[in-house]
Amino acid sequence: MNLKTVLTRETISLHLKGTTKEAIINELLDILTAAGKIQDRAAAFSAVMDREQKMSTGMKHGIAIPHGKSATIRDLVACIGISDTPIDFDSLDHEPCRIFIMTLSPLEKTGPHLQFLAEISLLFKSAEKRAEILKAATSEDVLQILME
């Protein structure tokens, strides 16, 4: 999977305003809606929140990967949001999150979804990459860091 085919300038936001898990998820959905990536926002919200209720998508090292599957999604879509302030996301390491990567995919396709999650998790194992992402000044900078 090539991240460049999934992520664009329009699907990266550097200054999320939300202060709760639900507010962050709504903001990420707003990014995908504004970019024309999802048509049924309510179905997308429901898919992501259903997944969150099963188990938090707050990972480690300040990263959360809220995701879901919906019949209203035709191809995998994703966005990245960075928060200026740490947000409690019920993470595995109990640390707050600042980097949020949302992905939504069709119900019947598991390959691209798993491939995307694997690629993203590999990228963010690097403390250096995480620090660079948090210091990025533009969405283009984030794309460049992810492509390195």
Asked if 113 contacts 75 with a C-beta cutoff of 8 angstroms, the reply is no
Q: How far apart are CA 51 and CA 13, in angstroms?
A: 23
Q: Tokens for 143?
A: 């794309």
Which of the 8 DSSP states describes residue 93? T
Range of the domain at 52: 3-147
On the question of pLDDT at 2 being above 70, the answer is: no
Asked if 58 contacts 66 with a C-beta cutoff of 8 angstroms, the reply is no
Identify the weakest region by mean pLDDT among 4-8, 61-65, 68-72, 104-108: 4-8
* pLDDT at res. 113: 78
Which of the 8 DSSP states describes residue 94? S
Query: The CATH number of the domain where 120 resides is what?
Result: 3.40.930.10
How many domains does the chain divide into? 1
Q: How far apart are CA 79 and CA 36, in angstroms?
A: 12
Query: Amino acid identity, residue 44?
Result: A
- CB-based contacts of 1, cutoff 8 Å, min separation 6: 112, 115, 116, 119
- pTM comes to 0.93
* pLDDT at res. 114: 80
